[in-house]
Chain A
Amino acid sequence: MVVGDRMQHAVFLYDDPARFLAGVGRWVAEGLAADEAVVIVAGGAAHEAIRGSLGVDGDAVAFADMEVIGANPARVIGAVRRFVESGGGRRVRALGLPMWPGRTPAQQREVIAHEAAVNLAFADSPISFLCAYDTSALPAAVVSEARRVHPQVWTADGYADCPQYDMEGLLIGQHPPARPDPLTEPLGVIVDLAGLAVLRVSVAEIAEDAGLSAQRRDELVVAVNEVATNALAHTAHPAFVSRGLDRAEGSLVVEVATHGCIADPLVGRELRPSALGGRGLWIVNQLCDLVETRSGPWGSLTRLHIHLL
């Protein structure tokens, strides 16, 4: 397959640790032989196992911790972009393990959304992604979703087109036809910019009530302020703010909903000051543990999660 300067985004489905490590070793060696800049983004145990199995090749590879940069999957594209830009123009080869069995349901959805966004963000970039999914440990539905968002599959035989790849349906999860049920406790309706100061006080109060530290409280205040500001500045509609506790995620959630829609699927995933609201949502993604954005004919909503420890 002639790659040239185009993106490759392949899923690597494995069910056995030995076969996984052998595959990764071969894939990394291919990249090093082609003088590509190789980065491996994996968390904890997987990182250790890969590093150990790569031997001397491991010295030529960059490592990043997926549990740090990918805790909120919406941060990963920005981190990879930074690696690409620091690579001096060499083709980049990036192995990622974005999904692991401990991922919560909301995190799983956001990992899939992230994978879909990769196809848009790097469409014209000289980069090869290999995204490894452990079919023996992950739910079948998650593996099936992973197939839909990767244009290629990678196996011991090399690359092949992924028959389940579904460009049309890629971001469907982020565009539900009906508005998701709102959170149960309304926090306020912000109709103009003067309401932002009042909103910040309310958010600080609920953060304190939930037991967040002063710093996490201030970070949540910044995040909610940015999303509400965008809603008011770009839509001319009021912003409806509500809050809740997401027990499955272990997080305090603040939701900002508006009648306006969010058209750009990449907004907030990269630092692009020129994009509408681009800086604000980038900040939000760096501060929050998880961000869920949904948009449709009914409007849009953004849910900001901060973990309760």
Chain B
Amino acid sequence: MRRSGAVAEARGFGPGDHLCWVFDTHEDFRVRAVEFLAEGLDAGERCWYLGSSDVAALRTDLQELGPVDELVGCDALRLVPIEAGYGPDPAQTVRGWARAVEDALVAGHSGLRVVTDCTAVARSAELFHEFARYEMLIDGYYAAGAPLCGMCGFHRPQVGPQRLDELCSLHPSVNLAAAQPFRLHAANPDWALPGIPPALVAVAGEIDLSCVEGFARCLDRSGLFAGGGEMVLDAAELIFIDHRGLVVLDEFARARGGTVVLRDGPYQAGRIVEILELQQVQVEAGSSR
């Protein structure tokens, strides 16, 4: 079972986990990167560290991991400028990661573990939209149980509050200091083709007026359910959704000619759908939380 929710440290993550870490100083990020990667090396995973285009700076960041040159020499650790890891086409980038996972397995590693300082991509007005879509696509790959474990870092001052809120909401795990009221992430048990949106998405947490605009943006950016039909959201961890959130879902579904099903959704969501007679949203197996 992959982890979901807010966390205080970057320890205890394994295959399938996808952590978002918002930081105010590079030192904060560096410390978390070291603790995250150290567990990967211990587990026999190949580790990649992506960030600055200055590879020497990446090397310096990881001194505490041990003999960095030796690890790089035997390809247990790669230091990668971010440009080499993220292209403009989200699906192609996901396929690239799937190949990197395969390569790690072929080389005898138990999987791939990646820490990326994504700030340079996330702060770019041109790249942001596709990057947010990429996060949902790659999360579908994580959710399917791929032997991949990732931590995405975002420098708060450079990325800006609205984008940060969206990016945090699109990760199953996030550091406490940046925790969002809700999360929207992949929950598909199977993996079809790298780069295809996940077939099942989970919505968790609480949705009210404080975050409903971000919820609408996340849904739009996710690229989900472009084909319409019945769109199932796993709502087992959805604690609360007010009528505004349900109206967003109703409009999202209507615009795509489909219906949204909140599977295992809260009882109160079903009552609001019933009272407002929302035609494009169904709440299945409602329960009281």
Chain A contact residues, CB within 8 Å of chain B? 192-194, 196-197, 200, 214-215, 217-219, 221-222, 225-226, 229, 232-233, 271, 279-280, 282-283, 286-287
Q: Are the CB atoms of A194 and B243 closer together than 8 Å? A: no
Closest B-chain residue to A286, C-beta based?
B275
A219 to chain B minimum Cβ distance, whole angstroms, is: 6
Given contacts A196-B210, A282-B275, 14 further A-B contacts (CB under 8 A): A193-B210, A194-B210, A218-B266, A218-B268, A219-B271, A221-B240, A222-B242, A225-B240, A229-B208, A232-B209, A233-B209, A282-B276, A283-B272, A287-B271
Q: List 14 A-B contacts (CB under 8 A).
A: A196-B210, A197-B206, A200-B206, A214-B288, A218-B267, A218-B271, A218-B289, A219-B271, A222-B268, A225-B240, A226-B242, A279-B243, A279-B247, A282-B276
Question: Whole-angstrom distance between the alpha carbons of A196 and B244 in the complex?
Answer: 14
Question: Whole-angstrom distance between the alpha carbons of A71 and B259 in the complex?
Answer: 33
A277 to chain B minimum Cβ distance, whole angstroms, is: 11
Give the number of A-B contacts (CB < 8 Å): 58
Please name all residues of chain A whose beta carbon is closer than 8 Å to the beta carbon of B247 when the two chains form the complex: 279
Closest 6 CB pairs of A and B: A214-B288, A193-B210, A218-B268, A286-B275, A229-B209, A222-B268
A30 to chain B minimum Cβ distance, whole angstroms, is: 34
Any A CB within 8 A of the CB of B181: yes
Please name all residues of chain B whose beta carbon is closer than 8 Å to the beta carbon of A193 when the two chains form the complex: 208-210
Q: Are the CB atoms of A196 and B209 closer together than 8 Å? A: yes
Closest A-chain residue to B210, C-beta based?
A193
A260 to chain B minimum Cβ distance, whole angstroms, is: 16
Question: Whole-angstrom distance between the alpha carbons of A217 and B206 in the complex?
Answer: 17
Q: Are the CB atoms of B208 and A218 closer together than 8 Å? A: no
Closest A-chain residue to B247, C-beta based?
A279
Question: Whole-angstrom distance between the alpha carbons of A219 and B242 in the complex?
Answer: 11
Within 8 Å by CB of A221, from B210, B243, B268, B276, lies B268
Please name all residues of chain A whose beta carbon is closer than 8 Å to the beta carbon of B181 when the two chains form the complex: 197
Within 8 Å by CB of A229, from B242, B266, B275, B288, lies B242
Question: Whole-angstrom distance between the alpha carbons of A215 and B287 in the complex?
Answer: 8
**Residue of A221, A226, A232 most packed against chain B (CB within 10 A):** A226
Please name all residues of chain B whose beta carbon is closer than 8 Å to the beta carbon of A194 when the two chains form the complex: 210
Per-residue contact bits, chain B 208-219, to A (CB 8 Å; 1 contact, 0 not): 111000000000
Please name all residues of chain B whose beta carbon is closer than 8 Å to the beta carbon of A219 when the two chains form the complex: 268, 271
Q: Are the CB atoms of A214 and B267 closer together than 8 Å? A: yes
Please name all residues of chain B whose beta carbon is closer than 8 Å to the beta carbon of A286 when the two chains form the complex: 275
Please name all residues of chain A whose beta carbon is closer than 8 Å to the beta carbon of B243 when the two chains form the complex: 226, 279-280, 283
B278 to chain A minimum Cβ distance, whole angstroms, is: 10
Per-residue contact bits, chain B 248-289, to A (CB 8 Å; 1 contact, 0 not): 000000000000000000111001100110000000000011
Please name all residues of chain A whose beta carbon is closer than 8 Å to the beta carbon of B271 when the two chains form the complex: 218-219, 222, 287
Closest A-chain residue to B266, C-beta based?
A218
Please name all residues of chain B whose beta carbon is closer than 8 Å to the beta carbon of A221 when the two chains form the complex: 240, 268
A232 to chain B minimum Cβ distance, whole angstroms, is: 7
Please name all residues of chain B whose beta carbon is closer than 8 Å to the beta carbon of A282 when the two chains form the complex: 275-276
Question: Whole-angstrom distance between the alpha carbons of A215 and B286 in the complex?
Answer: 10
Q: Are the CB atoms of A200 and B209 closer together than 8 Å? A: no
A196 to chain B minimum Cβ distance, whole angstroms, is: 5
Closest B-chain residue to A218, C-beta based?
B268
B46 to chain A minimum Cβ distance, whole angstroms, is: 40
Q: Are the CB atoms of A225 and B208 closer together than 8 Å? A: yes
Please name all residues of chain B whose beta carbon is closer than 8 Å to the beta carbon of A233 when the two chains form the complex: 209
Please name all residues of chain A whose beta carbon is closer than 8 Å to the beta carbon of B210 when the two chains form the complex: 192-194, 196-197
Please name all residues of chain A whose beta carbon is closer than 8 Å to the beta carbon of B268 when the two chains form the complex: 218-219, 221-222
Please name all residues of chain B whose beta carbon is closer than 8 Å to the beta carbon of A222 when the two chains form the complex: 242, 268, 271-272
Please name all residues of chain B whose beta carbon is closer than 8 Å to the beta carbon of A217 when the two chains form the complex: 288
A286 to chain B minimum Cβ distance, whole angstroms, is: 5
A288 to chain B minimum Cβ distance, whole angstroms, is: 12
B183 to chain A minimum Cβ distance, whole angstroms, is: 14
Please name all residues of chain A whose beta carbon is closer than 8 Å to the beta carbon of B275 when the two chains form the complex: 282-283, 286-287
Question: Whole-angstrom distance between the alpha carbons of A66 and B275 in the complex?
Answer: 18
Please name all residues of chain B whose beta carbon is closer than 8 Å to the beta carbon of A279 when the two chains form the complex: 243, 247, 276
List which B138-182 residues lie within 8 A (CB) of chain A: 181
Please name all residues of chain B whose beta carbon is closer than 8 Å to the beta carbon of A229 when the two chains form the complex: 208-209, 242
Closest B-chain residue to A233, C-beta based?
B209
B239 to chain A minimum Cβ distance, whole angstroms, is: 9
Please name all residues of chain A whose beta carbon is closer than 8 Å to the beta carbon of B267 when the two chains form the complex: 214-215, 218
Please name all residues of chain A whose beta carbon is closer than 8 Å to the beta carbon of B240 when the two chains form the complex: 197, 200, 221, 225
A233 to chain B minimum Cβ distance, whole angstroms, is: 6
A256 to chain B minimum Cβ distance, whole angstroms, is: 14
B139 to chain A minimum Cβ distance, whole angstroms, is: 25
Please name all residues of chain A whose beta carbon is closer than 8 Å to the beta carbon of B242 when the two chains form the complex: 222, 225-226, 229
Question: Whole-angstrom distance between the alpha carbons of A125 and B267 in the complex?
Answer: 37
Question: Whole-angstrom distance between the alpha carbons of A201 and B267 in the complex?
Answer: 16
Question: Whole-angstrom distance between the alpha carbons of A184 and B267 in the complex?
Answer: 31
Q: Quick one: given A222-B272, A279-B276, are A215 and B209 in contact (CB under 8 Å)?
A: no
Please name all residues of chain B whose beta carbon is closer than 8 Å to the beta carbon of A287 when the two chains form the complex: 271, 275
Please name all residues of chain A whose beta carbon is closer than 8 Å to the beta carbon of B208 when the two chains form the complex: 193, 196-197, 225, 229
Question: Whole-angstrom distance between the alpha carbons of A232 and B208 in the complex?
Answer: 12
